[in-house]
């Protein structure tokens, strides 16, 4: 069979979409059809809803879908990380049970990694999983769990062995959130949104078939999740944009964005809204102010190369080349750009940047930028942790001294009784 080309893929997907996309279909019904055809996730394996197309051709499919306004599969949020992780480490049974429903949007996910005592030091997690009878029993606490209040399942990293060094005693599970042993308590952030939660486990249960990878090998599985999370950090500006077209499929997609995607609605502001800077300078009558112009120029000189670096990383990925240093730099650059953008917004709006409400700059959006930007340099690994990764893994500099990597985790000092 001939290798697919841009022209052949474009022609084939166009014919299929024109014959099959109907805005009056229900969202899940349409997504099931799309998944069956292999056009929903064309770069995925043929056995798992894909066509094994190179990433570059996936873009062609997306362009064709946008051309006629066809709704795509559900790919945003933590479900994206769940799917990427299960594709690599999941059993066939897990892929069968979870992948399709995650793509249709019927199941939603959260990431149960960070704990009060272990965020950057994720491998120091102390939530425990013990095998009792025929189930894993989970006790402990997670925090900063985005979307846990909407989630059906959680990607859980828990300690199964306290007598080996910390990275070797962790195991990765899929946990059903809807059970009596799981309590989800929302937290409110300084930007007014409540995206995060505390999650408490009291004898929560996980069946053995929901163990992902091997017992004690959870760190390797978690690394796959984190790699995808950091790689996606520059793509958060466009999350959750609803179409204004008419039809049942769009109505149901809008409802999905208003509920499941609600925790992410401030994510574009977290990236600094560089796109608004020139418009804001004009609206505030500062477009000819030499100081403002100078600062806008500096910001664009930083954000444009960051965008090109992200594109270079994507191009390498599309050509099947291994991720180079640009992948590791992307997340760090994006938080520098966001901070610089917040400074420029403040310079333009002055003290008004702190106001919210109807008569404030952009109806409170500028204030939301200021209080949302700090999240970017914390989520998915802080700036300091990214610098450590770059210095150790990209530049090959000496490793940060550690005192806890080569002794049983039980003996490592920590703020809890084990």
Ligand X SMILES: Cc1cc2nc3c(=O)[nH]c(=O)nc-3n(C[C@H](O)[C@H](O)[C@H](O)COP(=O)(O)OP(=O)(O)OC[C@H]3O[C@@H](n4cnc5c(N)ncnc54)[C@H](O)[C@@H]3O)c2cc1C
Binding to ligand X (CB under 6 A) within 348-377 occurs at 375
Q: Which residues pair with 108 in a beta bridge?
A: none
Of 15-23, 143-151, 281-289, 352-360, the segment contacting ligand X by CB under 6 A is: 143-151
Residue that the structure tokens 């959750």 belong to: 240
Classify the C-alpha dihedral 50-51-57-60 as positive or negative. negative
Residue 145 touching ligand X (CB under 6 A): yes
Q: Which residues pair with 140 in a beta bridge?
A: 201
Question: Within a 13 Å sphere around the CA of 361, how many CA atoms are in the beta-carbon half?
Answer: 25
Q: CB 399 → ligand X: shortest distance, Å?
A: 11
Phi–psi pair at 261, nearest 5 degrees: -90, 0
When computed from its CA atoms, the radius of gyration of the chain, rounded to whole angstroms, is: 23
DSSP letters spanning 51-70: ----HHHHHHHHHHHHHHT-
Of residues 158-177, which lie at the interface with ligand X (CB under 6 A)? none
Whose Cβ is closer to ligand X: residue 211's or residue 385's? 385
The answer to whether residue 114 forms part of the interface with ligand X (CB under 6 A) is yes
144 binds ligand X (CB under 6 A): yes
The interface mask with ligand X, positions 384-403, x = CB under 6 A, is xx--x-----------x---
Which residue's Cβ has the minimum distance to ligand X?
119
Provide the minimum distance between the beta carbon of 172 and ligand X in the complex, in angstroms, as a whole number: 13
- Indicate the residue among 57 and 143 with the shorter CB distance to ligand X: 143
Indicate the residue among 113 and 136 with the shorter CB distance to ligand X.
113
User: What CA–CA distance (Å, rounded) separates 153 from 176?
Assistant: 5
Instruction: Report the alpha-carbon distance of residue 312 to residue 316 in Å, rounded.
Output: 6
In the bound state with ligand X, the residue whose beta carbon lies nearer, of 289 and 404, is 404
Quote the CA–CA distance of 367 and 342 in Å, as a whole number: 9
Contacts of range 388-396, beta carbons closer than 8 Å, 24 or more positions apart: 389/328, 390/325, 390/328, 390/329, 390/332, 393/328, 394/325, 394/328, 394/329
| Smallest distance, ligand X to C-beta of residue 32, A | 28
The answer to whether residue 109 forms part of the interface with ligand X (CB under 6 A) is no
Residues composing the chain: 418
Q: Which is nearer to ligand X, 270 or 314 (CB)?
A: 270
379 forms part of the interface with ligand X (CB under 6 A): yes
Among 76, 85, 111, 161, binds ligand X (CB under 6 A): 111
CB of 168 to ligand X, least distance (A): 19
State which residue, 100 or 270, has the beta carbon closest to ligand X: 270
Q: Given candidates 4, 23, 69, 119, which one binds ligand X under the rule CB under 6 A?
A: 119
Near ligand X by CB under 6 A: residue from 30, 113, 172, 173: 113
Our finding on whether 224 is near ligand X (CB under 6 A) is: no
Interacting positions 226-285 with ligand X (CB under 6 A): none
Is 141 a residue that touches ligand X (CB under 6 A)?
A: no
What is the end-to-end Cα distance of the chain in Å, rounded?
60
Interface segment toward ligand X; rule CB under 6 A; list 2-10, 22-30, 109-117, 390-398: 109-117
The CA distance from 305 to 340, in Å, is 14
Q: Dihedral through CA 115, CA 121, CA 122, CA 124, nearest 10?
A: -80
> CA-to-CA distance for 322 and 224, rounded, in angstroms?
14
Distance, in Å, from the CA atom of 274 to the CA atom of 260, rounded to the nearest integer, reads 26
Listed ranges 90-98, 111-119, 244-252, 274-282: which one lies at the site for ligand X (CB under 6 A): 111-119
Q: Count interface residues toward ligand X (CB under 6 A).
A: 19
Contact flag: residue 382 with ligand X (CB under 6 A):
yes
Q: How many CB atoms lie within 10 A of CB 58?
A: 19
Among 146, 161, 317, 349, binds ligand X (CB under 6 A): 146
Dihedral angle, C-alpha 295, 296, 299, 304, nearest 10 °: -150
Q: Is 381 in the site for ligand X (CB under 6 A)?
A: yes
Of 8, 24, 66, 120, the residue at the interface with ligand X (CB under 6 A) is 120
219 binds ligand X (CB under 6 A): no
- Residues contributing to the site for ligand X (CB under 6 A): 110-111, 113-114, 119-120, 144-146, 375, 378-382, 384-385, 388, 400
């Amino acid at each position: 069979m001939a290798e697919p080309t841009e022209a052949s893929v474009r022609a084939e997907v166009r014919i299929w979409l024109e014959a099959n996309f109907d805005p009056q279909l229900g969202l899940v019904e349409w997504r099931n059809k799309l998944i069956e055809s292999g056009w929903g996730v064309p770069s995925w394996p043929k056995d798992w809803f894909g066509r094994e197309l190179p990433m570059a051709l996936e873009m062609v499919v997306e362009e064709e879908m946008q051309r006629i306004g066809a709704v795509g599969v559900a790919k945003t949020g933590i479900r994206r990380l769940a799917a990427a992780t299960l594709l690599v480490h999941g059993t066939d049974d897990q892929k069968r049970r979870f992948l399709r429903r995650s793509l249709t949007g019927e199941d939603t996910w959260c990431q149960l990694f960070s704990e009060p005592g272990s965020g950057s030091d994720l491998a120091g997690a102390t939530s425990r999983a013990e095998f009792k009878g025929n189930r894993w029993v989970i006790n402990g606490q997670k925090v900063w769990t985005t979307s846990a209040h909407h989630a059906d399942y959680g990607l859980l990293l828990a300690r199964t062995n306290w007598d080996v060094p910390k990275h070797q005693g962790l195991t990765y599970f899929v946990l059903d959130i809807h059970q009596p042993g799981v309590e989800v308590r929302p937290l409110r952030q300084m930007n007014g949104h409540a995206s995060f939660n505390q999650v408490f486990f009291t004898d929560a249960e996980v069946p053995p078939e929901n163990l992902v990878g091997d017992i004690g090998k959870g760190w390797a599985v978690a690394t796959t999740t984190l790699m995808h999370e950091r790689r996606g950090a520059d793509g958060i500006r466009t999350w959750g944009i609803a179409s204004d077209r008419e039809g049942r499929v769009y109505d149901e997609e809008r409802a999905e964005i208003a509920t499941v995607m609600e925790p992410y609605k401030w994510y574009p502001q977290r990236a600094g809204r560089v796109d608004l800077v020139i418009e804001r300078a004009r609206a505030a009558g500062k477009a000819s102010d030499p100081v403002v112009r100078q600062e806008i120029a500096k910001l664009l000189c930083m954000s444009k190369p960051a965008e090109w670096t992200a594109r270079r990383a994507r191009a390498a990925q599309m050509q099947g080349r291994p991720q180079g240093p640009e992948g590791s730099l992307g997340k760090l650059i994006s938080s520098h750009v966001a901070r610089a953008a917040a400074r420029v917004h403040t310079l333009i709006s002055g003290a008004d940047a702190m106001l919210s409400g109807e008569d404030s700059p952009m109806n409170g959006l500028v204030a939301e930028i200021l209080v949302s930007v700090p999240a970017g340099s914390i989520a998915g690994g802080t700036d300091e942790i990214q610098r450590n990764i770059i210095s150790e893994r990209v530049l090959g500099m000496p490793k940060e001294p550690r005192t806890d990597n080569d002794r049983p985790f039980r003996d490592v000092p920590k703020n809890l009784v084990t």
